[in-house]
Each structure stands twice: as structure tokens, then as C-alpha cells.
Amino acid sequence: MQLEAMDGGVVFDFSDKGLPAGLPIIIEGLNDHWDTIVWRKGKGNPKVIGTKDGKCYFQLSQDEPESGTFYIGHLAVCNDPEIALSVKAMKDKSITLEVHNPTDKAKRAIVQKAKGLTWYPDFRKELKVAPGRSLLVEIKFSK
């Protein structure tokens, strides 16, 4: 199955009934600098997966049935695609991200939750990141 990310990711319902093998999924339209997650609604914390050339590749396993509503995409996004975002911790009232500026110029970054992930609380933070530097930032949820 090949899907295009909208608002930072893709939400879909999946039932593995009758599949002879796992379902391979390709999600296009992602940013290689931002963590990409696979998250089944109502099931603990997400799994971070890799992204290459704007695509992630994932297979829903047939060994452990994985029916439900899924989100595959970015948990956090930024107004500047060069800024790197890594999820470090998720708590009840906040999220901790590593925000890295790989360029040789200072950047003003607005980091927020991807709009496509509807069941996670909203967050937003404006930051100034020095050239070649990283910040470890805890962002409190809006609600």
C-alpha cells in the first residue's frame, strides 16, 4: 500500500483478517530530518522508524495481529524543513524534543504537533537555535 502524507502523516483503519502475509506500506511526503512514528491508537507509545528520501517503509506484521486505527508520520513538525526534530520523551503533560540546527546560520523555529495526528494533545513552541547547535526542549501541552 502506498500513501501520501497529509498534515505530517497518514491516519488509516486496518484489519489484518485474511491477509496471507504482513502488509507493506510506503508513506511519501515526509521530512528525513524529523522523526517518523508508527502509532496504533490506544496502544502505548509510538515506534520511531526511519525515513529516507521523503519516504518511510513499514510492514504491519501478520505474526502479531495489528488491527486498529494507525498513524504513520511525524509527531512533531517545524516551519523550517532544515531543522532536525527527534522525540526524546513523551509524558502526560509534555513532550521533550531534541531540536538541531545543522546550518551555519541562526534559525527561528516554530515546532508543533503534526495536524494529522488527531488523538495526541496539541503543542507549539517558538525557538531560536544557534548555528550547528542542538536544544533539548520540554514543551507543555496546550490542553
% residues pLDDT > 90 (the chain): 70
For residue 17, is pLDDT > 70?
A: no
Q: What is the pLDDT of residue 122?
A: 93
Q: Mean per-residue pLDDT for 74-83?
A: 97
Please give the sequence-ordered ranges of beta strands (E in DSSP) within the chain, or none if there are none.
2-4, 9-14, 23-28, 36-40, 47-49, 55-60, 68-74, 76-78, 84-90, 94-100, 107-113, 124-129, 134-140
Question: Structural domain of residue 130, as residue ranges?
Answer: 2-140
Gap between the Cα atoms of 35 and 50, Å rounded: 7
Q: What is the pLDDT of residue 43?
A: 85
For residue 92, is pLDDT > 80?
A: yes
Burial zone of 96 (CB within 10 Å; 0-12 exposed, 13-18 middle, 19+ buried): middle
Q: Mean per-residue pLDDT for 109-133?
A: 95
Whether 84 contacts 33, CB under 8 Å? yes
Dihedral of CA 124/86/114/92: which sign? negative
pTM of the predicted structure, to 2 decimals: 0.88
How many structural domains does the chain have?
Answer: 1
Write down the mean pLDDT value for the chain.
89
% residues pLDDT > 70 (the chain): 91
